[in-house]
Amino acid sequence: MKTVSTRYGKGCSGATLVEALAGTALLGLVLATLVTAAGQMKRQAYFADARTEACDVADELLTQWWADRDHFPRDQTGIVGDQSRWAWRTHRVGTVTIGSVTGEIIAVEVLDRQAPEPEVAVYIEIVLPAPDDE
């Protein structure tokens, strides 16, 4: 009868339990990093899309208001159309004099009301003729 001898040591080519656990841990770390990076990418893409939409909203508002500069809102707030997501507010920042003309600096802010805390998505400053110069 033949006996089969098993030798462990230099001649073995299999992985040990420690090597298998180390490989599994490394694979888990790589997968966790990929999932975290994908989540960050989706979050940044969402905020970039929101900011782009806010710029479009600000452009529409300024186009409407610029058509009738005599009634440009100063120190006012409102909601954009029937969209409850976007709100706007204007306020006086200061005055500027160029030559003999005095202008009023008005800040226009578009706020994202769906954000956890309403935050300014777009901030624009424009110069309008001061009420005395109109």
**CATH number where 46 lies:** 3.30.1300.30
Q: From CA 84, how far away is CA 61, in angstroms rounded? A: 15
Q: Does 58 reside within a domain?
A: yes
Q: Does 117 reside within a domain?
A: yes
Instruction: Give the per-residue pLDDT at 133.
Output: 47
Instruction: Give the per-residue pLDDT at 90.
Output: 96
Q: Does 11 reside within a domain?
A: no
Instruction: Give the per-residue pLDDT at 91.
Output: 96
Instruction: Give the per-residue pLDDT at 134.
Output: 47
Q: Does 4 reside within a domain?
A: no
Instruction: Give the per-residue pLDDT at 115.
Output: 80
The answer to whether 83 touches 111, Cβ cutoff 8 Å, is no
Per the structure, the complete domain to which residue 42 belongs is given by 17-129
What domain count does the chain have? 1
Q: Does 10 reside within a domain?
A: no
Low-confidence ranges of the chain (pLDDT < 50): 133-134
**CB-based burial label for 25 (10 Å; 0-12, 13-18, 19+):** exposed
Q: Does 119 reside within a domain?
A: yes
